[in-house]
Amino acid sequence: MKIPGIKLHNAADLANACSLLEKYGESAKALAGGTDLVVDLKQKRAVFEHIVVLGGIAGLDEIKLRKGILQIGALTSLASLAESRIIKKHLPALSDAASTMATPQVRNMGTIGGNVAMAVPSADLPPTLIAANARIITDSPTGSRIIPIREFFTGPRKTVLGAAELIREIEIDVPPANSGLSYKKFQLRNSAALAVVGVAASLVVEDGKISDACIVLGAVAPTPLIAVKASRSLIGAKPDFEAFANAGKIACEEGKPISDIRGSKEFRCRLIGVLTRRALEEANGRIRTAPKRRKN
């Protein structure tokens, strides 16, 4: 399995990477961990002549917590995400999602930036990032911008990123103590398996009632899908089994799964219901403080 002729360009920094991408246009692509791109090049699913290597850029693989904001560099490996103390403490759903992915070897290579930019419908990180309202910070020859992740995905393997635009960092506000977030994935094996369905759910509870909820479905539509009706059904409800199961039922109807080798459409629909309920239950269990009483 040989890759057709390519030329590698080592980017000194992100600005340099962007200008290399601009210079070589459609024949160029950025390489992070390579676990998607090299596989695609080998299978001739992607053909690029110029490969812009991001791996040597310093400082892009750090996870920081600054003023209540989690900042995750685009080159942070899936293994670091899975193991990071900061992420485990403040956004355990994201380290859970990372640890369900691929294999130890691929997690050591693959990056968060690559997973998000690749925009595969079954990708494991996007649902949780959407439920957590992440922001994608990018650089390009025309400057930097902040993209709310809800506006990022436009189709299977399609995003709003420009051809010479690269992700620098992903930012997430640390969720408040009266909230919880969870990711549940169904896979055919516990290793090296893509999601048949993945569901991320977040909950905010005030005065014993749900004041905000967001359910995001992965692998059941061309892009990660916010189950709007199911999420709305929870507002004002008590966070209990009944409310969660009901939301699951509604979510089943919102997904638009296809049948493929990993599962039939019908099977996926059933999974959405079960995983939604389980994700909500876990999210609820992660709420740390007693619900705050309003002063008046």
Ligand X SMILES: Cc1cc2nc3c(=O)[nH]c(=O)nc-3n(C[C@H](O)[C@H](O)[C@H](O)COP(=O)(O)OP(=O)(O)OC[C@H]3O[C@@H](n4cnc5c(N)ncnc54)[C@H](O)[C@@H]3O)c2cc1C
Query: Given the rule CB under 6 A, which residues bind ligand X?
Result: 29-37, 39, 74, 78, 101-103, 106, 109-111, 113-115, 117-118, 123-124, 161, 166-167, 192, 194
The residue among 31 and 129 lying less far from other proteins, judged by its C-beta, is 31
The residue among 190 and 296 lying less far from other proteins, judged by its C-beta, is 190
> Exposed, middle or buried: residue 168 (CB in 10 Å: 0-12, 13-18, 19+)?
buried
The residue among 109 and 129 lying less far from other proteins, judged by its C-beta, is 109
Kindly state whether residue 31 participates in binding other proteins, applying the rule CB under 8 A: yes
Kindly state whether residue 85 participates in binding other proteins, applying the rule CB under 8 A: no
Kindly state whether residue 170 participates in binding other proteins, applying the rule CB under 8 A: no
The item of other proteins, ligand X, none sharing an interface with residue 111, based on CB under 5 to 8 Å by kind, is ligand X
- 177: phi then psi, degrees, rounded to nearest 5: -65, -30
Least distance from other proteins to the Cβ atom of residue 192, Å: 5
The item of other proteins, ligand X, none sharing an interface with residue 7, based on CB under 5 to 8 Å by kind, is other proteins
The residue among 41 and 272 lying less far from ligand X, judged by its C-beta, is 41
- Alpha-carbon distances of 13 from 9, 84, 140, rounded to whole Å: 12, 24, 12
Kindly state whether residue 191 participates in binding other proteins, applying the rule CB under 8 A: yes
Binding-site member from 12, 25, 26, 42 for other proteins (CB under 8 A): 42
The residue among 36 and 281 lying less far from ligand X, judged by its C-beta, is 36
In order, the DSSP letters of the chain are -PPP--EEEE-SSHHHHHHHHHHHGGGEEEESS-TTHHHHHHTTSS--SEEEE-TT-TTSS-EEEETTEEEEETT-BHHHHHH-HHHHHH-HHHHHHHHTSS-HHHHHH-BHHHHHHH--TT-SHHHHHHHTT-EEEEEETTEEEEEEGGGTEEETTEES--TT-EEEEEEEEPPPTTEEEEEEEE-SSSSS---SEEEEEEEEEETTEEEEEEEEEESSSSS-EE-HHHHHHHTTS-SSHHHHHHHHHHHHHH-----BTTB-HHHHHHHHHHHHHHHHHHHHHT--SPPPPP--
The item of other proteins, ligand X, none sharing an interface with residue 23, based on CB under 5 to 8 Å by kind, is none
Kindly state whether residue 43 participates in binding other proteins, applying the rule CB under 8 A: yes
The item of other proteins, ligand X, none sharing an interface with residue 74, based on CB under 5 to 8 Å by kind, is ligand X
Using CB under 8 A as the binding rule, the residues of this chain from 96 to 135 that contact other proteins are 102-106, 108-109
The residue among 27 and 43 lying less far from other proteins, judged by its C-beta, is 43
- 263: phi then psi, degrees, rounded to nearest 5: 175, 155
Using CB under 8 A as the binding rule, the residues of this chain from 205 to 234 that contact other proteins are none
**Residues 125, 113 contacting (CB under 8 angstroms):** no
Binding-site member from 17, 35, 187, 257 for other proteins (CB under 8 A): 35
Kindly state whether residue 7 participates in binding other proteins, applying the rule CB under 8 A: yes
Footprint of other proteins on this chain (CB under 8 A)?
1-8, 31, 34-35, 38-39, 41-43, 51, 53, 55, 79, 102-106, 108-109, 190-192
